[in-house]
Amino acid sequence: MLNKKNTSADLQGLTRLITDATIGITDLVEAMHRRVVNPPLLPSTPIQNLITNIAGITYKNIKRSTRLIGNGTDKALGQLTSVLGETKATDEREAIRSVLNGVIGDYLEKNDNPLKIDMQFRHQANAIPLDRKNLEKAYPTINGRILLMVHGSCMNDIQWTRKEHNHGIALAKEFNQTPIYLNYNSGRHISTNGQVLNKLLEELTQHWPVPVEELIILAHSMGGLVSRSAIYYSQQQQQSWTQYLKKIIFLGTPHHGAPLEQAGNFVDVVLENIPYAKPFARLGKIRSAGVTDLRYGNLVDEDWQDNDRFKMQGDQRNNISLPEQVECYSIAGIVGKASTSTSSQLLGDNMVSVKSALGQHKKASKNLNFKQKNTWIVEKCNHTELLSNLKVYDKIKSWVA
């Protein structure tokens, strides 16, 4: 499956990344230099201060030269856009771009880097303009049963196809649905993506060429949080698209956060409090807003606004319930066999614990209270295998039916 992407824009984006990375590394080396020459908690001599000042001039010149070269290269590549035109991008290139957006997507967005991904609905890896003519062109046999597929962090819509299986395509054939895939920058705040998805779904249902009968969402990992956020904002703004939403199925969604991000936050705090290691703490802060939102599963702006997202603090989320009048289902994976053992529950699918995936919380106010018949644990299945496991598909199919 191929998609068109401008080569010069990609190169511009990479040039800007390399330029910023070089400046960032120079800042890191300079900070370490200061720590070594001027040890923390000890007085500095005039000689030590002189060495630091001379070195500071050198570092400043390196950063100035890097910016000049980077800006010159960026402008030259920009002029190549009309010459190079569009070339076909491989799935691998799309995957790399998705990972970059997942890890530093907020940075790419803030700096308007050409590598940033703009949220859009896609069909066969091509963007679909949300008007009647283009929707009919994308779906010659369009019907009123929409199946929306929402991918997880660091992924894209193409990656729903794994081991020659795609849950969306299979379901669409089985139940005569029209599948549509979301592609988005998973490095932005979950609530930001949720608000944009809310607007896009309103636009989509208003311009759908035939009367909408139902909307079903199948969401993997972070995609489930983005979907819940979109539903919340739709209800706040009294949008109409949720009247069509009948079912939402979550695959390995970290409703109450992911242990890996919680561990990353712990490492940040440890490095910040070791004098000689403190400069390295900034490396941990490269990760995106979307990643840090996964610590506890933030859904709304209030969960992160006015907070230092790298500071060690407890779960301060607002309690957002599952939507009423919508059948909600959730599947949790475990890499081992015994789903009842404590280690299996905590390890889960290697990314999300069983309790987090099933919305279970020790605080009653945060428990999502999925109906027991609407939850399922699949054994011998890791986080990405939820996309291709045929037992998972059979369970999804039984719920859709």
Q: Is the pLDDT of residue 77 over 70?
A: no
> Do 60 and 169 have their domain in common?
no
Supply the mean pLDDT for the chain. 81
> Do 250 and 179 have their domain in common?
yes
Q: Is residue 100 part of a domain?
A: no
Q: What is the pLDDT of residues 95-111, one digit of tens each?
A: 878 877 887 888 889 88
> Do 362 and 241 have their domain in common?
yes
Q: How far does the chain reach from its first CA to its final CA, in angstroms?
A: 29
Residue 333, φ and ψ in degrees, nearest 5 = -105, 150
Q: Is residue 201 part of a domain?
A: yes
Distance of CA 279 to CAs 41, 55, 74, 273, 275, Å?
16, 17, 29, 10, 8
Q: How confident is the model at residue 12 (pLDDT cuts 50, 70, 90)?
A: low
Q: Is residue 302 part of a domain?
A: no
What is the average per-residue pLDDT within 234-253? Answer: 97
Determine which of 146-160, 222-236, 281-295, 309-323 has the lowest per-residue pLDDT on average. 281-295
> Do 197 and 126 have their domain in common?
yes
Q: Looking at 39, 71, 89, which one is the last position of a domain?
A: 89
Highest mean pLDDT among 45-49, 131-135, 272-276 belongs to 131-135
Q: Is the pLDDT of residue 347 over 90?
A: no
What is the average per-residue pLDDT within 136-151? Answer: 96
Q: Is residue 355 part of a domain?
A: yes
Q: What is the pLDDT of residues 254-312, one digit of tens each?
A: 999 988 777 776 656 655 665 545 554 555 666 789 989 999 999 999 999 988 887 87
- Reported pTM: 0.80
> Do 51 and 126 have their domain in common?
no
> Do 336 and 212 have their domain in common?
yes
What is the average per-residue pLDDT within 136-149? Answer: 96
What is the average per-residue pLDDT within 16-34? Answer: 50
> Do 229 and 354 have their domain in common?
yes
> Do 84 and 126 have their domain in common?
no
> Do 35 and 175 have their domain in common?
no
Q: How many domains does the chain have?
A: 2
pLDDT reported for residue 104: 80
Q: How confident is the model at residue 2 (pLDDT cuts 50, 70, 90)?
A: very low
Q: Is residue 288 part of a domain?
A: no
Q: What is the pLDDT of residues 307-344, one digit of tens each?
A: 888 787 888 899 999 999 999 999 999 998 877 777 77
Determine which of 16-25, 134-143, 146-155, 177-186 has the lowest per-residue pLDDT on average. 16-25
> Do 220 and 358 have their domain in common?
yes
> Do 14 and 134 have their domain in common?
no
> Do 14 and 69 have their domain in common?
yes
Q: What is the pLDDT of residues 368-385, one digit of tens each?
A: 999 999 999 999 999 999
- Alpha-carbon dihedral of residues 44, 50, 53, 59, nearest 10 degrees? -110
pLDDT reported for residue 341: 75
Q: Is residue 307 part of a domain?
A: no
Contact indicator for 285, 291 with CB cutoff of 8 Å: no
Q: Is residue 262 part of a domain?
A: no
pLDDT reported for residue 360: 96
* Domain containing residue 157: 120-257+317-400
CATH number reported for the structural domain that contains residue 228 in this entry: 3.40.50.1820
SS3 sequence of the chain: CCEEEEHHHHHHHHHHHHHHHHHHHHHHHHHHHHHHHCCCCCCCCHHHHHHHHHHHHHHHHHHHHHHHHHHHHHHHHHHCHHHHCEEEECHHHHHHHHHHHHHHHHHHHHCCCCCCCCCEEEECCEECCCCHHHHHHHCCCCCCEEEEEECCCCCCHHHHEECCEEHHHHHHHHHCCEEEEEECCCCCCHHHHHHHHHHHHHHHHHHCCCCCCEEEEEEECHHHHHHHHHHHHHHHHCCCHHHHEEEEEEECCCCCCCHHHHHHHHHHHHHHCCCCCHHHHHHHCCCCHHHHHCCCCCCCHHHCCCCCCCCCCCCCCCCCCCCCCCEEEEEEECCCCCCCCHHHHHHCCCCCCHHHHCCCCCCCCCCCCCCHHHEEEECCCCCHHHHCCHHHHHHHHHHHC
Q: Is residue 150 part of a domain?
A: yes
